[in-house]
Amino acid sequence: MATVILLTVTGLGLGALYFLIASGLSLIFGLMDVLNFAHGALLAVGAYATWWAASGHLPGAGSGGFGFVLAVAFGTAVGTAAAALLELALIRPLYARPREQVLATVGVGLAVPALLSAIWGADARPFPTPKALSGTFGLLGARIPVNRLVLAAAALVVLVALKAFLRRTRYGLIVRAGVEDRAMVTALGIDVRKAFTLVFALGGAAAALGGALGGVYFGSVDPGQGTSLLIFAFVVVVMGGMGSLTGAALASVAVGLVQQFANYYTTAGLGDLSVVVLLAALLLLRPSGLTGRLA
């Protein structure tokens, strides 16, 4: 029983990490038809910025208490800025050429991790974790690491915040309308490009937050981390139905749980494979994804 609970909570934590990446990917794809291959790079940027700040380079930030919150905020801010910069500098000049946009993000996705490993080395760096997050607590006889809960809580907050943004604000309305029919929104005289930058920045913020918390989850940062997580985030986005936040949330929980349980009860690595098998099975049964949106 204790094992099952631990596996469930760990699976939820991993699923939360996937959701933080996939939410941005899904929104960006839904609105702009851009498969953002640089999303993993944004995650790595967030993780390294947090690590840099928490290692004592940023005054006020540190590896404990409020200092760590500041470090995470700094990492998220850097990731947001990087995403906005990416959109303005590279994606915007290539509007109406979706394939070139994808290719440009592929280039960035290759170059940024290489740059990070040029500066800080290709090896994993230990991530300074605050004491409050490195402990465990008891739940029905299982010792559960606190950081799993923090990840799940962060993902939940991001989900609720993004939902509220999409439902309650004017820009959210534009984004939702743009996902439905971009040409019509433009024809109504609304400048969708601002919404593009905004969605990119939001997605970058979520990914960078995922990078910072992923550093806590894995206990280290390395340049290739984002790219390997990105592939599972892609699986989540396809399974959830592209452009759907709720679908992405459901799919990321499913993927995280399946991966954890299969990795534990069968040989290690089989969990990663079973996720892909799950994807194939789902595509055979429902080609449009869990929530039935058009892929």
Partner 1 sequence: MSTTAGTGAARTAAGEEEGTAMPLPVATPSMRLRRAARWWPAAFGAALLLAPYSALPLPGLLDGPIGSAGNLQLLALCLVFGALATGYDLLLGRTGLLSFGHALYFAAGSYATNTIMVESGLSFAASAVLGVLAGTALAALLGSVSLRVGGIAFSMVTLAFAQAGSILVERDPGGATGGEEGRAVPAGRLPGALIGIQHTVNLYWISLAYLLVTLAAVTWAVRSPVGRVWEGIKENERRVEVTGLRPYGFKLVAFVLAGALAALGGVVHLLLTGGATPQTTTSDFTLSLLVMVVLGGSGSRWGPLIGGVLYTWADHRLGDLAGSGTVGGLPAVLRVPLSQPLFLLGTLFVAVVYLLPGGVVRLPERIRSAARRVPSHPTPSPSVPLREEPSP
Binding status of residue 28 toward partner 1 by CB under 8 A: no
Binding status of residue 27 toward partner 1 by CB under 8 A: no
What is the spatial distance between Cα 68 and Cα 128, in angstroms, rounded to a whole number? 9
What is the spatial distance between Cα 67 and Cα 60, in angstroms, rounded to a whole number? 6
What is the spatial distance between Cα 168 and Cα 146, in angstroms, rounded to a whole number? 32
Binding to partner 1 by CB under 8 A, coded x per residue (else -) over 41-80, reads: ----------------------------------------
> Which residue from 69, 153, 188, 231 is in contact with partner 1, where contact means CB under 8 A?
231
Q: Which is nearer to partner 1, 246 or 272 (CB)?
A: 272
Q: Which stretch binds partner 1 (CB under 8 A): 56-64, 157-165, 172-180, 230-238?
A: 230-238
Binding status of residue 276 toward partner 1 by CB under 8 A: yes
> Which residue from 1, 96, 183, 187 is in contact with partner 1, where contact means CB under 8 A?
96
Q: How many chain residues bind partner 1 (CB under 8 A)?
A: 49
Note the residues at the interface with partner 1 (CB under 8 A): 29, 33, 35, 37, 90, 93-94, 96-100, 102-104, 106-115, 117-119, 227, 231, 234-235, 237-238, 242, 267-269, 272-273, 275-277, 279-280, 283-284, 287, 295
